[in-house]
Chains A and B, each alone.
Chain A
Amino acid sequence: MSILLNSESRVLVQGMTGSEGTFHTQQMIEFGTNVVAGVSPGKGGSQHLGRPVFDSVAEAVIATGATVSGVFVPPAFAADAIMEAAAAGLQLVVCITELIPVNDMIRARAYLSSRGARLVGPNCPGLMSPGERSKVGIIPNQNGRPGPVGVVSRSGTLTYEIMQSLAAAGFGQSTAVGIGGDPVLGLSFSDVLELFATDPKTELVVMAGEIGGSDEERAAELIGRGYPKPVVGFISGRTAPPGKRMGHAGAIISGNTGSAASKVAALERAGVEVADTIEQIVERVTARLRRG
């Protein structure tokens, strides 16, 4: 098992014929993902990477029974693509695109909530369930290894690092989810933690947060109320000054909210072990899982 994505998932890629879409769809297929279609308005009827291309998500869903969408379209069109996927009845939409205007995302997010569809991202690396040979997004294939650790992170490269370091120590992942670095996101840490809680394959969760917003604090509240699995926490941006955007649009301490200190304190209050370095994450995971 895994969360959100498994070997049954039938994936379509919006923007598959673009250069990013092409490269990453190839990688997804190599990983074993069941990619069933691409969507590029105006290119319907053609074939790309051995998959049929459709003009609209609705057409692709009818023809292929797709259940999940990966969105690789440019920022100006991404929010519309997300809403199109939800309107066509897809239950999971994964948006990789960075630099989407915030107000576009506010609308897309409201639209999805009203239709019960889940969104991962945007500005995220997507997700990967190695034991199910399925990924949607850009997590490098070589970093996936089946195992008992659920990984949820706001950052891309940091997710890969954590996955690789854990794998080197012998721990693979049930599912790794990059929820994204934007201020307005789909799934939050809490949402993903709730999914991991009931996944039988996930024995422990590594949660890697960063400065900005208060999703980590909300997650700490959830864990504090009683969480069935051990959680190892990690917060980056401890040296970030207030008011400066640290690369991610969402990584900014504004006023009194979003500091690393506040997040670390909230997690520790909830009984989460917070690691200072990636090496420490591995040590804590090792201690927890070896202890049984």
Chain B
Amino acid sequence: MKLLEHQAKAQFRSEGIECPMGRVARTPGEAESAARELGEVVVKAQVPIGGRGKAGGVKVARTPEEARAAASQILQMEIRGYRVPAVLLEELLDIGRELYLGVTLDRDRRRLAVLLSFAGGMEIEDVAERTPEKIAKLWPDPFSGPLPFEIRQLTLNALASAQGEQILERSRLLNLMVPLVQRLYQLCQRLDATLCEINPLVITRSGQLIAGDGKVEVDQNAEYRHQDLVRELGGDAEAASSGDDQLEVEARRRGLTYVHLGGDVGVIGNGAGLVMNTLDLVKQQGGSPANFLDIGGGAKAEVVRQALEMVLLDPEVKGIFVNIFGGITRGDEVAKGLIQARDELQIKLPLVVRMTGTREEEGRRLLEEAGITPAVSASEAARRVVEMVAGASR
């Protein structure tokens, strides 16, 4: 779950991380009255993706009337497919320098890493690619969190590669960074986040450290612990997913592990690795997979039916390839489920089923009797479904 900027900042504040004064507005009128309180403001689209500035989703407003006009414009925008449910109006900061500070999962180290760079304001991925030496890193012990001396060293390392004017005295910077990094790391742990990012982290001319933007991504596996956040997203959730692939949104609603890929061969299998491999086989045979759909282990007839139904929601699908490796799953049960589903859903499209493992012969016989093409080898099945789909579209 990705929090919107204003939600991320509410979390920052609760942890004691300073943010600009701000108000959320959902209508131009609300924006106008917020600007009356705040003075000169920046009006920012609340969308769960980057690049909103370039898309025109961030505007400076000198007067309440300008704020109203800016909000009115931004609230009608669609930014890379995402509707804008709200704008955040914030006081203008007297920016002296922009830093990057993030806590993010480092898979290689199997820890959260703290990243600090004086090349702030840019996408950190770009900095990492072009000038990796400008990013200082720290991998704290997850039980102690980042220790003050580690944070000072991190800051010194970042300073060593920094160019340009330093706004803050080194001693003040070191003193400010210690609690800030500790709070951001704590927040990341408390929210079960895999990313907590402040970019830019603004050093104001008056020497304050303030979070200019905020990005928080909560680990999907931990969402059950954060129902308050899920609720808070509430009405914005729909807008927040409006730019997502709508078939994937529907699959999430149905609780299915589905990824839309845009081709015309629907793919269903059990096990993520097996399904990925199935997609590769379709491609190798010159076909184009429409989707990834993993029905997991021990699939029952009902799950098979739901999976077929999901794949068929995609109008591009011209044929379906079901690849089942039966371990605990029994071939005859899967076959029965498939036949039943085909009849219930009145599937007319080519359906190729490859199954192997427990009771595969019984399963194959059932399929053949029902007029569904069974196959033993996955490559062979891939070749057949690709041929059938090509034939059907001629």
Residues of A within 8 A of B (CB): 75-76, 99-107, 109-111, 138-140, 142-143, 153-161, 164, 181, 183-185, 208, 210-215, 218, 236-241, 244-251, 255-256, 276-279
Contacts and interface: CB of A to CB of B under 8 A. Distances in A.
Q: Which of A110, A218, A250 has the most CB of B within 10 A?
A: A110
B273 A236 contact: yes
For this complex, into which size category does the number of interface residues on chain B fall? 35 or more
Interface stretch (B4-12, B229-237, B281-289, B364-372): B281-289
B189 interface: yes
Main secondary structure of the interface of A (DSSP, over half): loop
Contacts of B108: 213-215, 218
9 contacts: A155-B271, A208-B273, A210-B272, A236-B276, A239-B279, A240-B292, A255-B128, A277-B378, A279-B377
Q: Which of B220, B257, B325, B379 has the most CB of A within 10 A?
A: B325
A278 B278 CA distance: 11
A157 B279 contact: no
A212 to B, nearest CB: 8
The 3 closest A-B pairs by CB, nearest first: A155-B273, A247-B272, A157-B271
Contact of B297 (A156, A210, A238): A156
A70 B283 CA distance: 38
B221 A184 contact: no
Contacts of B297: 138, 156-157
B142 A247 contact: no
B143 interface: yes
Nearest to A238: B280
Given A183-B105, A277-B379, A103 B219 contact: yes
A237 B274 contact: no
A240 B289 CA distance: 10
A289 to B, nearest CB: 22
B276 A75 contact: no
Contact of A278 (B219, B225, B357, B378): B378
Q: Which of B107, B188, B189, B192 has the most CB of A within 10 A?
A: B107
Given A103-B112, A142-B357, A250-B107, 18 more contacts: A76-B224, A105-B110, A110-B141, A110-B142, A140-B358, A154-B273, A157-B269, A157-B273, A157-B274, A157-B297, A160-B325, A161-B356, A183-B105, A239-B279, A239-B283, A247-B275, A251-B272, A277-B284
Contacts of B378: 277-278
A156 B271 contact: yes
A101 B222 contact: yes
A236 B327 contact: no
Q: Which of A105, A159, A239 has the most CB of B within 10 A?
A: A239
A255 B125 contact: yes
